Amino acid sequence: MGPTQDHDDVRQGAAMGDVISLEQRRSARLAITERGPSRMRVTFYFDLASPFTYLAAERVDRLFPALTWRPALTEALHAGDPLSAGVDREAAQQAAEERATLLHMPLVWPDTFPSGARVAMRVAALAASEGARAAPFVLAASRLAFCGGFDLDDPEVLAEAAAAAGLGLPEVLAAAGDRSRDGEMEATALRLLAQGANRLPVLRVGRTLFCGEHRIAEAAAAIRRRPRVESPTQVPNAG
């Protein structure tokens, strides 16, 4: 099953950049693991509706071999407030475009942006519950959304991402309609909010939170230093 030809024609003019292939990703993960991975626990909290998840996913998957992937809802983290205003959406889009240019990554806005990808996030929760399925699902889904400009809640597009992760269609369909997963993802975001997080994605390294895609390098440095932190602490944002 693939995207329609008409949609492909529309997106052909999009600028392309350096996106790591799945085979390259697996090779990089193996090389890092063989060098001796840190025993410090690392968790990546993401929302597929956010372009910053797309910009971060490739790098965190390569930098942190034992990464745990956890879906969280942006609207819960922000208490349904700052990103609801049009001016803030425009600022977020501009910031994402600037980061994409800096990272030499393509960025195509889905026609449905900034609406959420709630159905896709329910499937992400399913993938996360199966451990190794999470990374390939998030990578495929975020690429389809922000590299291809597709609506993740479209059943055909969602099936593409699920197939990349080896998820069975019956399980995917059941998860897509399971509204109880929304509460779990909202609770995850609210816990992050209580611990000082103010944006997604978030990397938790041990007990320290690194908020925002632009904090990935600092999180990787924290792994190398293996700091001892007694309580969850938000690393100051650059702006």
pLDDT at 87: 52
pLDDT at 89: 77
pLDDT at 187: 95
pLDDT at 238: 39
pLDDT at 24: 53
pLDDT at 103: 95
pLDDT at 223: 85
Task: Yes or no: say if 116 and 75 are a contact pair by the CB < 8 Å rule.
Answer: yes
Q: Count Cβ atoms below 10 Å from residue 71 Cβ, excluding itself.
A: 27
Look over the chain and give the mean of its residue pLDDT values, rounded to a whole number.
81
User: Kind and range of the H or E element at 212?
Assistant: none
pLDDT at 118: 92
Residues of the chain with pLDDT under 50: 1-20, 26, 28-38, 81-85, 227-231, 236, 238-239
> What helix, strand, coil percent values describe the chain, rounded to 5?
55, 10, 35
